[in-house]
Amino acid sequence: MAPRGLSAEEKRVKLLEIFHETKDFFQLKELEKLGPKMKGIVSQSVKEVLQSLVDDGLVQGDKIGSSNFFWSFPSQQGSLVQSRLKEAQDQRTTNQAQIAEVRNLIKVEKQSRGESDTRTHALAELNRLKKELVQLDNELSAYSACDPVKLDETRRGILLAKEAAIRWTENFCIALAHFQRQSLVEPSEIRRYLGVNDDYEDIC
């Protein structure tokens, strides 16, 4: 069996290891030689992998004279993670303050709406009309259950709903992978922060 090639993420990790292990500066052509020799990265893919690390702020680059040099030190990655963690914590604090403010406004609004005979009567009438609407909808559904047009609309609705669900689960997987790469946080931690349960399944 032929050996399995490195995945995109494995290439990123191994190319970053070259910087951290040597603690040196490199040009692209030097990395294209060292990649295959030290870490088994195909030289043709080094440029793309290096650019992804630069885009994520894990590798720094600058032009000195007519040449471009790249570098990265282990301390940079830790500082980047700490910075992003602080940003997330600050955003969480802001969100919690906004939630508390909204809850307080709701509480004040409820207190300002004192009970009265008119309001009690209006609420009772609203509830009666809601129940009547539900009953009428049930009757209408019973009559339209065998309507070919209705059945066709239902089928199209199911198809569209399935396509939308697949699209959103795909988007979630892409967002999860991107956020993991950006923040270097475990997927389980990201899921817990976003409120995604462990029983979540990608339906596609």
pLDDT given for residue 46 in this prediction = 92
Average pLDDT over residues 50-61: 88
In this predicted structure, the answer to whether residue 160 has a pLDDT above a threshold of 70 is: yes
In this predicted structure, the answer to whether residue 161 has a pLDDT above a threshold of 70 is: yes
Q: Note the pTM of the prediction, 2 decimals.
A: 0.37
Cα 109-113-119 angle, rounded to 5 deg: 140
User: 141-148, long-range: CB within 8 Å, 24+ apart, which pairs?
Assistant: none
Confidence band for 65, pLDDT divided at 50, 70 and 90: confident
In this predicted structure, the answer to whether residue 189 has a pLDDT above a threshold of 90 is: no
pLDDT given for residue 159 in this prediction = 72
pLDDT given for residue 2 in this prediction = 45
pLDDT tens digit sequence for 111-121 = 666 666 777 77
Average pLDDT, the chain: 76
**Residues 113 and 119 sit within 8 Å (Cβ to Cβ):** yes
In this predicted structure, the answer to whether residue 48 has a pLDDT above a threshold of 90 is: yes
Q: What is the DSSP string of 53-65?
A: HHHTTSSEEEEET
pLDDT tens digit sequence for 134-155 = 888 777 766 655 666 666 677 7
Question: How far is 50 from 36, CA to CA, in rounded Å?
Answer: 14
Q: What is the DSSP string of the chain?
A: -PPPPPPHHHHHHHHHHHHHHH---B-HHHHHHHIIIII---HHHHHHHHHHHHHTTSSEEEEETTEEEEE--HHHHHHHHHHHHHHHHHHHHHHHHHHHHHHHHHHHHHHHS---HHHHHHHHHHHHHHHHHHHHHHHHHHHHTT-HHHHHHHHHHHHHHHHHHHHHHHHHHHHHHHHHHHH---HHHHHHHHT--TT-----
Average pLDDT over residues 48-64: 88
